[in-house]
Amino acid sequence: MTLCFGRPYVAIPGPSVIPDRVLRAMHRPGPNIYEGELVEMMPALIGDLKAVARTRHNVAIYIANGHGAWEAALSNVIGPGDTVLSLCTGRFGHGWTEMAEALGVHVQIEDFGMRTPVDPNRVETALRADPDHRIRAVLLTHVDTSTSIKNDVAEVRAAMDAAGHPALLMVDCIASIGCDQFEMDGWGADVAVAASQKGLMVPPGMAFVFFSDKAAQVRKGMTRVSRYWDWSDRADPELFYQYFGGTAPTHHLYGLREALDMIAEEGGIEAVWARHSHLARAIWAAFDCWAASGPLEMNVKDPAHRSCAVTSLRIGAPHGTALRRWTEEKTGVTLGIGLGMQSDDDPNADGFFRLGHMGHVNAPMVMGALSSIQSGLMALNIAHGAGALEAAAQVISEA
C-alpha cells in the first residue's frame, strides 16, 4: 500500500519546492521584451536581488544553471594559463575546479575532505608560498550540497589579507543564497555566483554573478572574454536586451519578481535566514535522537559548520538507498542521493542520503519529512534512537 496520494514533497537540496505564488506569476502569455512592464520592472528587481546577496556592487544575469555561473565568473577574470587556488570540501568544490581546468586554468587544490570545513591557516600558508602572486583567485564553496559543509567566508578573506595576497575571492553561493547568512560586501567576497533553483525558489534556468569593483577592474585587463559570458554589458546595459545577452528569460523573471516579493513580505532576508536556522535546528534535533542508537549520523559533527539549507547523512550501505526508495514510494517524500560520497566500499553511495530544507519550507513540511523518515526507519528495521519527532517539535515550539 502507498500513502503518497496527493501532492508529493521533493525534499532534495535543489531544485527546491516552487511556491504556488511563483508558479502563478509565471503562468501568463509571453510579454513584449522591448518595452512595457517587463522592461520597467528590471531596475527594482536588480536592486532587490543585490540586497539578497548583501552587495552594493554589480550583478549579471545569465540564462544558465549554476555550472554556467561557474564558467561565467571564471571567464571574466581568469584566462588560460592563469593559476587559481581551489578550496574543496565536497563534490561541488571539485566541480568548480574541473570547470576551471577545462578552461585551461592551472588549479592548485587544497582538499579538506568530506567532513570538515576549510582551514584558514592552510589557506594563508598556501598564499604565502606564492610570493610572485601567480594565484589570480581563490575559489571557495560557501555551502557544498554534497557534504552540507558550510565554510566561513570571512575567515578565508582574513587569511588572504593576513598573507597580503591580492587574489580575488570567488565564492560559490548557489546552495546558500536565500538560506544561510551570506554577506558579500561585509565578508570581502569579490565574486559570488548563485542560481535560481534553490533559496530563490524559482525553476532552474537562471544564474547570477555578483562582482565587486575590484573584479570589474580585473575584467578590464583581460585580453579576451567570451562574448556571451562577458558581464560588462549585462551589469550596465544601455538596452534591456543587453541584460541577458539576447532574448530575456521572460517567465523566470516574473517568477523571480514574485519570489523577491515573498522575501520582502517575510521581513527581509534576515527573517528568511532566521526561519532556515530555526527549522534546521529542529531537523538536527531529530537526527541527533535517531543517531543515539543505530547507524545514522550527520556528516558534519559541528553545528557551526552545518548548512541551514541541507543536511547530509551517513547511515551505511544499503540503508541510504533503501530509505530513500521507501519514503518516495510509500509517502511521496523524495530525499536526496548521496552525491559525491562514493567510495571503494560503497561505490554507489548507498550508505548516504540528504535532506534539503531550503527556500519554500516551513514547519509542517519539515515535520512531515521527518515523520516519513522515521516511518521508513521503522519499516526497514533500521536501528534508531527514540524521541526524534518530539525533539524536533520542541525546537519548533520555541519559535
Whole-number Å distance between alpha carbons of 287 and 370: 9
Cβ-based burial of 289 (10 A; exposed 0-12, middle 13-18, buried ≥19)? buried
Which of 363, 307, 354 minimizes the C-alpha distance to 333? 354
Q: What is the pLDDT of residue 399?
A: 84
Q: Are 211 and 57 in contact (CB under 8 A)?
A: yes
Per-residue confidence (pLDDT) for residue 240, from 0 to 100: 87
Give the tens place of pLDDT for each residue, 132-179. Answer: 999 999 999 999 999 999 999 999 999 999 999 999 999 999 999 999
Q: Where are the beta strands (DSSP E) in 23-160?
A: 58-62, 83-88, 106-111, 135-141, 143-144, 149-150
**pTM for the full predicted model:** 0.96
Quickly state the pLDDT bin for 115 (edges 50, 70, 90): very high
Q: What is the pLDDT of residues 282-334, one digit of tens each?
A: 999 999 999 999 999 999 999 999 999 999 999 999 999 999 999 999 999 99
Beta bridge partners of 353: 313
pLDDT in tens, 184-196: 999 999 999 999 9
Residue 378, all three cell numbers:
521503522
Q: How many CA atoms lie within 13 A of 336 on its CB side?
A: 25
State the Cα angle at 358 between 171 and 88, rounded to 5°.
Answer: 30
Alpha-carbon gap, residue 269 to 258, rounded angstroms = 14
**How would residue 1 be classed by pLDDT, with cut points 50, 70 and 90?**
confident
pLDDT of residue 346: 87
Question: Whole-angstrom distance between the N-terminal and C-terminal Cα of the chain?
Answer: 36
DSSP bridge pairs for 107: 84
Distances in whole angstroms, Cα of residue 224 to Cα of each of 134, 221, 230, 232, 395 = 19, 9, 9, 13, 53
Handedness of CA 376, 381, 385, 386 (dihedral sign): positive
Query: Percentage of the chain with pLDDT > 70?
Result: 100
Amino acid at 390: E
In contact, 103 and 74? CB cutoff 8 Å = yes
pLDDT at 155: 98
